[in-house]
């Protein structure tokens, strides 16, 4: 597909923070071109223009971090460590918390999983993204059923924690609760503060998956009383393959390094028997072996500053306007059902998933892209148990293309997700609502087929 850009009227009018790609145009199968409407922020948000500009300004000064005597190395080291402090401020960390730079939320939670004390029990709702559902395979895991209200979520956790096994010394052994701040499927906010209180009341710790929360809401480790927070740069308008695990240092300090290598080690010596003895760092460096992704860390810090400078009050007000526009538009189409755990009135971020009667979701998403230049997501969104729970009673879907996740002979369960944020102009969500209405009313104007597991326009 050929892609060109245009310098026509600024399509980011009313979007609080300009993003890259806001003026990119894409071809339509029906002829002509249109400005691309990026409505898949929940997968990867576009880079903020400010982040891109900051990285471009630093790039000529890029150097090795922590292990160079030259000016550029020292400058890069200062930038990397200042990024750590910026993230700590953004998350309102405690003074003795560690901020570890990782590759992503998934990497952060796998790092924490590798640092769990022996015999640690983990409690996680089936509603989690796979990044927070799956890393605990070496621990004793209790999977909790999907709650239908925030209050039920707290009650479910309290019952599970109260029933957990008592350790041999007569007290409770270590336990960890993992919970999302905002669902990547429904966008609904979870009662994190109440869940943290329940966890701590039963002697457990809690880690917050803030991948979908941090780009939309302020996240205070101290106010929420979380032990750890994990998030990804690419959800936070910082697209350079970096993430964060921030929180209490004791489990991290006592665990073996996540990766063994330079940077994690303070001292390495040969033994008389031919082996080596290693003294590991007890700071965040313990889990940051190898040359760090300084540009990724810097881009996260730049995004944190941009969001803080804009002010979350402004961002929240703007996002709620977009949410109301989408929900009101979809409510006018009887064939559309928005997916929800907690109900229509539940507070949420700019993430909504839905199904359309008479359409396979992959077919519908392909038509939005090919005929309207709108990018959304279809499938099970790396949250298979949750989406299957929400769609389990749906009738067989129709359409020219099947769901990419459906196995042969399996019922085709998939949904459509639209997501947006600080760089989304009104026109994008208005076009989306109009496109949904037209597709349901008139059908697709093009023929589609399944190719390599995806629904694509037939040629």
Residues carrying an active site annotation:
382
Q: 37: which strand partners?
A: 374
- Pair of tokens at residue 327: 């929900």
E strand or H helix at 198: helix 192-201
Backbone torsions φ then ψ of 287, nearest 5 degrees: -115, 20
CA distance 65 to 60: 15
The alpha helices in 32-118, defined as continuous H runs, are 49-58, 71-90, 105-114
From 176, 181, 183, select the one nearest 129 (Cα to Cα). 183
Cβ-in-10-Å burial (0-12, 13-18, 19+) of 343 comes to: exposed
Query: What is the distance of C-alpha 223 from the center of its chain?
Result: 21
Query: 219 and 180 in contact (C-beta within 8 Å)?
Result: no
Query: 413 and 394 in contact (C-beta within 8 Å)?
Result: yes
Tell me the torsion sign for CA atoms 161, 183, 320, 334: negative
CA distance 203 to 82: 34
Backbone torsions φ then ψ of 88, nearest 5 degrees: -60, -40
CA distance 214 to 209: 9
CA distance 158 to 198: 6
- Pair of tokens at residue 174: 């270590």
CA distance 33 to 252: 51
CA distance 184 to 353: 9
CA distance 436 to 329: 9
Residue 150's alpha-carbon distances to 292, 304, 342, in angstroms, are 39, 28, 7
The alpha helices in 311-449, defined as continuous H runs, are 312-331, 361-372, 384-391, 426-442
From 123, 86, 93, select the one nearest 224 (Cα to Cα). 93
From 39, 92, 20, select the one nearest 353 (Cα to Cα). 39
């Amino acid at each position: 597909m050929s892609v060109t850009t245009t310098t026509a009227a600024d399509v980011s009018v009313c979007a609080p923070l300009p993003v890259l790609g806001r003026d990119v145009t894409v071809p339509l199968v029906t002829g002509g071109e249109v400005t691309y409407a990026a409505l898949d922020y929940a997968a990867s948000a576009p880079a903020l223009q400010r982040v891109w500009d900051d990285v471009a300004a630093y790039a000529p000064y890029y150097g090795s971090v922590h292990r160079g005597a030259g000016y550029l190395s020292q400058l890069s080291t200062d930038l990397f460590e200042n990024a750590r402090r910026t993230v700590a401020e953004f998350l309102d960390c405690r003074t003795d918390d560690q901020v570890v730079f990782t590759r992503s939320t998934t990497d952060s939670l796998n790092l924490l999983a590798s640092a769990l004390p022996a015999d640690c029990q983990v409690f996680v709702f089936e509603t989690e993204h796979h990044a927070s559902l799956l890393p605990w395979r070496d621990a004793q895991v209790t999977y909790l059923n999907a709650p239908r209200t925030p209050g039920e979520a707290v009650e479910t956790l309290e019952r599970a924690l109260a029933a957990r096994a008592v350790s041999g010394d007569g007290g409770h052994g270590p336990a960890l609760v993992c919970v999302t701040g905002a669902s990547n499927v429904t966008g609904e906010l979870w009662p994190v503060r109440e869940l943290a209180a329940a966890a701590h009341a039963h002697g457990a710790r809690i880690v917050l998956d803030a991948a979908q929360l941090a780009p939309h809401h302020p996240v205070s480790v101290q106010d929420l009383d979380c032990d750890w927070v994990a998030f990804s740069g690419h959800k936070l308008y910082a697209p350079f393959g970096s993430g964060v695990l921030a929180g209490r240092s004791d489990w991290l300090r006592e665990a073996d390094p996540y990766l063994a290598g330079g940077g994690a080690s303070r001292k390495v010596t040969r033994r008389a028997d031919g082996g080596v003895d290693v003294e590991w760092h007890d700071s965040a460096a313990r889990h940051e072996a190898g040359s760090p992704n300084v540009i990724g860390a810097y881009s996260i810090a730049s995004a944190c500053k941009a969001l803080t400078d804009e002010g979350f009050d402004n961002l929240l007000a703007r996002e709620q306007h977009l949410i109301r526009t989408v929900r009101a538009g979809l409510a006018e189409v009887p064939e559309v059902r928005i997916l929800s755990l907690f109900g229509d009135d539940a507070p949420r971020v700019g993430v909504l998933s839905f199904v359309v009667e008479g359409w396979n979701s992959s077919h519908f998403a392909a038509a939005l892209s090919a005929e309207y230049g709108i990018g959304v997501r279809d499938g099970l969104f790396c949250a298979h148990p949750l989406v299957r729970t929400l769609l389990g009673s749906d009738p067989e879907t129709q359409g020219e293309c099947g769901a990419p996740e459906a196995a042969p002979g399996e019922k085709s369960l998939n949904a459509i997700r639209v997501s947006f944020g600080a760089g989304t102009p009104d026109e994008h969500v208005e076009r989306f609502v109009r496109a949904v209405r037209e597709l349901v009313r008139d059908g697709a104007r093009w023929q589609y087929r399944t190719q390599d597991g995806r629904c694509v326009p037939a040629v």
